Structure 1
Amino acid sequence: MIALPSSIPQAKEQARRLRAKLEAEGTSIGHSKSLELLAHQYGYRDWNTLHAKIGNRPPAVWTVSDRVKGRYLNQPFEAEILAVEAVRPAWYRLTLDLDEAVDVVTFDGFSNFRKRVTGVVGPAGTSREKTSDGHPQLAIAVPEGR
Structure 2
Amino acid sequence: MSIYVYPAVFHPEEGGEYSVEFPDLPGCFTAGASLAEAMTMAHEAMGLYLFTLEEDGKAIPAASPLGDVHTEPGQFVSLIDVDMLEHRKKYDNRAVTRTVTVPAWLNTMAQANSINFSQTLQAALKERLGLTDQR
Alignment TM-score, normalising by the size of structure 1: 0.20
Q: Which has the higher contact order (CA 8 A, sep 6+)?
A: 2
Higher helix share: 2
Higher strand share: 1
Alignment TM-score, normalising by the size of structure 2: 0.21
